[in-house]
Chain A
Amino acid sequence: MHPPRLIRVAAPLLIGALVLSACGSKKESGSTSGSKTLTIGVVAPLSGDLSAVGNGIKNGVDLAVKQANEKKTVKGYTLTVDAQDDTAKADVGATVAAKLVAASGVVGVVGPLNSSVAKAVAPVMAQADLVEISPSNSNVDLTGRGALATGGTQTRPYKSYFRVVASDDIQGPFAAQFAVGSVKAKTIAIVHDKKAYGQGLAEAFAKEAKKGGATVLKTETINPGDKDFSATITKLKAEKPDFLFYGGEYPEASLLTKQLKSAGLKIPLMGGDGVQADDYIKIAGAAAEGDFATALGAPTDSLATAKQFVTDYAAAKYADPIGPYGAYAYDAANVIIAALAKSTADGGKTGSALRTEVTKEVQNSDYDGITGKITFDQFGDTTVKVLTVYQVKGGKFVAAKTDTFK
């Protein structure tokens, strides 16, 4: 490497860093009305295929922050939202995470949507002890649960990482029990997209389905972003399955179910919470009828507390729908806000000391959210294990069964 070239690269980076840090400090001390500002970050896909879900998360946080400002929940501070687009990619996630960590006014982060992105975001957050609550991650490794399946002991990989939804090793088996027990599936085909979420969920499903006595066919894989699944479907069709479980998200699942039924393989597709989105039905149309999807928690409209949220969300006139995780994002933001209120009560802590204090308060949360009571175990997992199976009926996801996983 020639030194001058290095300088040429380094100089703009340095200037960029200076400008960024200037922005950060400005935000922190940006006191126009006498009260200080604190920021809650959001990391979610705000563009691309999953943007419908990602924007629901952003809006959920935005609503929580707006309400907290109106009620002055955190005394002496005005809260703002800094939403970053991770485009559902891990490398972009790591970059925007570093950006949020560098902005000293950020005291908590909601997101990301994808487990694969979380694996890149969580280490960055943990290093700065910046609390991160995901409204949707379900991969087992994020809280060290992966070790449990092989008989190991669980250790927490990221000290500031929390999630308000149950992990794949709960959701997968819950779906499998329903498929084998209620749908009476005999020969089950498994397809996943090889992403952290899809593969983890599909493997957990397959294991429990086998235990339940169903025949599980050899797992097929597809690539996220693929549109033509004809080769995979032809292969599956020869095996004559009567049920298909898909580990992945709705953009591929909707095309898969459509092509499945067009090809004459009229079996129900079941997916996890990544499939339980209105866009799944919008894209798949009539082909989605009869398909299943599990989701974490009880249906939003069945909870009395959630009804107010749905009304408020509608009143705020956001461009995007709540989506499957808007309510969880709202709760996650409120957990952070409640922790902030406690951490800032003595008024002394700022910067990294405040971040550490907020993380500690989140760990001790006991919050009555719209999706139920929120408490965390020592690994950052939610202690609530309520899940729901939905079925597409008349072009809508209708709750088929809500239960606590045993």
Chain B
Amino acid sequence: MDVFFQQLVNAIVLGATYGLVALGYTMVYGIVQLINFAHGEIYMLGGFGALTTYLALPSGTPAGIALPLMLVGGIVVSVTAAVIMERFAYRPLRSAPRLAPLITAIGVSVFLQELVRNFYPNAKAARNFPQLVNPDYQVKLGSSVQISAPQLLTVVVALVGMVTLSTFVRRSRTGRAMQATAQDPDTARLMGIDTDRIIVTAFVLGAALAALAGVSSGLQFGQVDFHMGFITGVKAFTAAVLGGIGNISGAVLGGFTLGLVEVMATQYAPDPFSGGAWKDAWSFVVLIIVLVFRPTGLLGERVAARA
């Protein structure tokens, strides 16, 4: 039983990262119906932003000061990139056919990867990330169930991010304007909502959450690399679709579901299809089954009502 609970912990850690990144996909999709394939790169830039901040700090800065600064640095870089991306790559195509911004998103994704690969010092291979939170420090949750300090941090950061976002969208004026824009952009504009500003807000919030995920990934694995956004981006997109793209709670649920499927498939899948190499295949099996019975995803019906 201990193995099961340990795997559950692993699943929650993995799902937290997927969920954080998935939120960015789902918010942007909910408002402009754009699948922002460059969102994985925003996550990657968050990691590099934090690394740059760390390198700029005088050596010997205590972790308690360095860590918040790194989070801020990562968020600043991600948000800046997302705002520029929205302004110059997506906004001119707002009224273009749906495929144009999609292809643009893929182009932006390649561009950002190559930008880091070619111009960030020594980023052609993985760069070591400072391990400010000791991964050898294990918090005991049971007789043999444990969670390492950076994993715990990942979960805490993700939960705080998710709760903050949800409160913001439901309670604040801008949040309600976001919901209105998602439901009907034209009417929202007629009601005096600056939809351009709302769209930028969606990109900014998504980028900030992705940056949190990028930094915690760096802390957890001790490295960041230029293509780390690709796999995580694909997984998070899958999570968003699984949960019902456009739905904020759906992205979180989808993230945790995907994490759970991957981890449990690694542990319990039947023999010829067992092990880590098959976990992605199992994830997509689950995705297909969900989409067959609920084409709009787990929590997708509200999207249907919206659109």
A contact residues vs B (CB 8 Å cutoff): 47-52, 193-194, 219-223, 225-232, 234-235, 237-238, 251, 255, 258-259, 261-264, 279, 282-283, 285
Contact = CB atoms under 8 A, between A and B. Distances in A.
A223 B279 CA distance: 9
B146 interface: yes
Interface in B135-190: 135-136, 138, 146, 148, 151
Interface stretch (B83-91, B199-207, B262-270, B298-306): B262-270
Interface in B1-39: 3, 6-7, 10-11, 13-14
A238 B7 CA distance: 11
Given A49-B126, A234-B267, 8 more contacts: A221-B278, A225-B227, A231-B14, A255-B223, A263-B148, A279-B125, A283-B128, A285-B222
Contacts of A227: 217, 220-221, 223, 228
Nearest to B145: A234
Contacts of A285: 222
A238 B3 contact: yes
Contacts of A234: 3, 6-7, 10, 267
Contacts of A225: 227, 231
Contacts of B277: 193-194, 221-223
Contacts of A193: 277
A262 B148 contact: yes
Interface of B: 3, 6-7, 10-11, 13-14, 117, 124-126, 128, 135-136, 138, 146, 148, 151, 217, 220-223, 225, 227-228, 231, 262-263, 266-267, 275-280
B contact patch SS: helix
Contacts of B124: 47-48, 51
B221 A264 contact: no
Contacts of A221: 275-278
A285 B275 CA distance: 27
Contact of A231 (B10, B128, B146): B10
Contacts of B263: 230-231
Contact of A283 (B10, B222, B262, B276): B222
Given A52-B125, A194-B277, A231 B221 contact: no
Given A222-B276, A234-B10, A51 B125 contact: yes
A261 B277 CA distance: 22
Contact of A235 (B3, B217, B225, B278): B3
Given A48-B124, A220-B276, A255 B221 contact: yes
Q: What are the 4 tightest A-B residue pairs by CB atom distance, in nearest-first order? A: A221-B277, A231-B266, A221-B275, A222-B276
A402 B95 CA distance: 68
A232 B128 contact: no
Nearest to B118: A47
Contacts of B275: 219-222, 232
Contacts of A219: 275
Given A49-B126, A227-B217, A258 B266 contact: no
Contacts of B128: 282-283
A226 B276 contact: yes
Given A231-B262, A231-B266, A234-B267, A48 B125 contact: yes
B150 to A, nearest CB: 9
A11 B263 CA distance: 49
Nearest to B134: A262
Contact of B135 (A223, A229, A235, A262): A262
A33 B117 CA distance: 38
Q: Which of B125, B151, B280 has the most CB of A within 10 A?
A: B125
B263 to A, nearest CB: 4
Contacts of B3: 234-235, 238
Nearest to B231: A225
10 contacts: A223-B279, A225-B227, A228-B10, A228-B14, A230-B263, A231-B267, A237-B6, A251-B126, A283-B223, A285-B222
Contacts of A222: 275-277
Nearest to A226: B276
B125 A223 contact: no
Contacts of B136: 261-262
Given A229-B276, A251-B126, A235 B266 contact: yes
Nearest to B137: A262
A297 B300 CA distance: 59
B10 A264 contact: no
Q: Which of A47, A228, A229 has the most CB of B within 10 A?
A: A228
Contacts of A264: 138, 146
